[in-house]
Amino acid sequence: MTAKPLLPLDPDLVARARRLAELAGEPVVEMARSHTTVSVERATLRLAGLTGADPEGIPWVNRLVDAVADQTGIEHGVALPVFHALAEGNHPDLERLAHAAAAGGVKFELPTGRAHDSASDLARTAVGGGFDRIDAQRRTRNQMSMFIGDPPQRPWIYLIVATGDIYEDIPQAQSAARAGADIIAVIRSTGQSLLDYVPEGATREGFAGTYATGENFRLMRAALDQTSREVGRYVRLCNYASGLCMPEMAALAGMNRLDMMLNDCMYGILFRDINPIRTFVDQRFSRQIHARAGIIINTGEDNYLTTADAVEAAHTVTVSQLLNEYFAHEAGLPDELLGLGHAFEVNPDLPESFRLELAHALLARQLFPDAPLKWMPPTKHMTGDVFRGNLLDGFFNLAGVMTGQSILLVGMMTEAVVTPWLSDRDIALQNVRYVLGAAGGLAEDFHPPADGFIANRADEVLGEAVDLLERIRDDGLLDAIADGTFGIMKRPADGGRGLEGVAERAEDYFNPAGEVLESDEEAR
């Protein structure tokens, strides 16, 4: 439902902000269209059905793409060399081909003539099977949410589990759903975003989180389906499509019916020092898959405020939201799948801190009225005083309902102290339930004066965002990132992890997954 406008924002200024975001983003999109990465190519082979890992735990899809890259490069795409080799008949399937390639027993080449046509047809058929799985999972989600039912109200309650052991995560997630959580987010193991491969199988040894794998996705989804039927509402599952394997995570999520994925246009660049070009290429492909799968993305603007001041840098959050919106729309994601991020991170000791939070939250809500905004609880200013922390979380929950937020991450009073116990989660959920029960409809009564503090602050932030977008348009987004514009992190376009896995597409580049995804966009 479209949120009712409450702030007297200048519509011409709002339109200018969106146009500037488009102008800033267009060169980046063109760059993404003209490049590929090893993760894009691996995601394509995953859609074609390649699974499994070698005895060292390295997925066969990595071994196969690496072998092709060594012989023909990835600039032509790996699908033609791979399926040409498969069509030769010496290997019965992709996995056996990967085994042989890893041992140096396959000569890859770019086919021509009839061999080219045969290999491309075989590749399209195989990749089509992956998209059939994604489409079937989307239909299942729609059917389950229709027949079991969705949560009766917004905001949806978003709760994290992160034991490191998928078999421990499952009962915790089910317990959280029974206690009222509408979305379960399984936090990834520390540092997984920097792995240039996706671990295989069920995992039990994560660090401050659980490894994101296709099998872990499948196990958790099956468990939450069971709990959804038990509690009478469809419980959504969230994980991460970020880091060096963003496209592969998106493909695995689509084939295993995840409902939300953290997917931000700049998070990996700023906070994991992943190469900007690699990130933008991977991000576009992954968002195209999310659009096909009907997966809501959650962006990461809240992270900027963990390193920058939430008042001084408020406009950078708005700028990032506008850029994320442009990149998402260009990749085919409609507003209803655009979970833009923002956070409750103004220093509580600052005078009028709550009014500032309301202004920032309401600005985001009004700029993106049809987007399922994800509102993040306080973290940076949690001190270890659990009583103060619980009060701050209550104010966060109140701001969420007053400004009509869509997805409310449950704040923990033990944030930055310990990994929460189940009892901590119970207390946090009690806080949320109390605020939603006592003030859930407060948004309809909240009408800040047109000339008041909240409206003036929102107008100030929007004006600063437009000024920054004008500079980014003139200087270029990659240069703005290199200069430390966002989150005070300086990340040059020729630096960071993963650049060696990027290639400019050759004129004869072929990717059957890309063909499907681009045709989806044209159909829209």
Phi-psi region of 15 (alpha: psi -120 to 50; beta: other; left: phi over 0): alpha
Instruction: State CA 473 to chain mean position distance.
Output: 25
Q: Where is 342: in which H helix or E strand?
A: strand 341-343
**Predicted local distance difference test score (pLDDT) of residue 1:** 45
For 309-333, the pLDDT digits (tens) are 899 999 999 999 999 999 999 999 9
Helices 422-439 and 386-402: crossing angle, nearest 10°?
A: 40
CATH top-level class for 1-34+254-376+447-493? alpha beta
Catalytic residues: 267, 302, 374
Q: Is 273 exposed, middle or buried (0-12, 13-18, 19+ CB in 10 A)?
A: middle
Please report, for the chain, the start and end positions of each structural domain, with discontinuous segments joined by +.
1-34+254-376+447-493, 36-128
- Residue type at 441? G
pLDDT tens digit sequence for 327-350: 999 999 999 999 999 999 999 999
Q: What residue type is assigned to position 56 of the chain?
A: E
> What are the tens digits of pLDDT across the range 265-296?
788 888 889 999 999 999 999 999 999 999 99
Report residue 352 as tokens. 């009028």
CB atoms within 10 A of CB 321: 25
Q: Is residue 194 scored above 80 in pLDDT?
A: yes
Q: Please tell me the predicted confidence (pLDDT) of residue 299.
A: 93
- What angle do helix axes 113-147 and 246-255 make, rounded to 10 degrees? 60
C-alpha to C-alpha distance for 154 and 433, rounded to whole angstroms? 12
Q: What's the rounded Cα separation, in Å, for the pair 263 and 270?
A: 13
Residues 193-217 have a mean pLDDT of 95
Return the bridge partners of 343, or none: 376
